Amino acid sequence: MWYLQAESPDGEEVAGCQVRDYRPGDEEGWLALLQANGELGVWDRERIDGVLAATHVQLFVEYGEQIVACTGVNDRVRDVGACWEIGWVAVHPAFQGRGIAKLITGAAVARAAELGSRPIYLLTDDFRVPALRCYLKLGFVPDGSHPSYPGRWREIFAGLGAEYPQSLPEFVAPGGKL
């Protein structure tokens, strides 16, 4: 999905939550979050260290002293050239549904924009419907570059509900109707 808006998304506060940058010593809390989330594969300390080494900016949301959400801004190259990738967005299951994913993803987009003018994108899975809803609300648009994408996005939009047709890209449904 691509973020094509001229401005970063509006940052809404979430009671008791604070967005902050990575600090040495965060690895165990980060690992505990990713393991609890369970949607992004199997995580261990080696994988955390590898992601951290490749990440330009790592952000967390803290609630009290617990890391409850994470994402990173990564320096990548795609067909369009140098880009910023928003990667590994995860929210602890006990904190989902509170707007925390929107908070941290919006903060990552804002940080990427501060780093320099480049296209901003993120990758996600079809089954992560709450995440897809969040990304669409933030202003991300589906990528239509692969032949499988129109059909996959058609199925996704059919299951999202009535509030999402305004996000329906032309490659999914010419004329804007499913």
Tokens 């992601």 — which residue? Answer: 51
- pLDDT tens track for 42-59: 999 999 999 999 999 999
Assess whether pLDDT exceeds 80 at residue 40: yes
What percent of the chain has pLDDT above 70?
95
Q: What does pLDDT average to over the chain?
A: 91
Segment 19-34 shows an average pLDDT of 97
Alpha carbon distance 61, 20 (integer Å)? 6
- pLDDT tens track for 84-141: 999 999 999 999 999 999 999 999 999 999 999 999 999 998 888 889 999 999 999 9
Alpha carbon distance 14, 102 (integer Å)? 10
- The CA angle 6-128-146, to the nearest 5 degrees, is 65
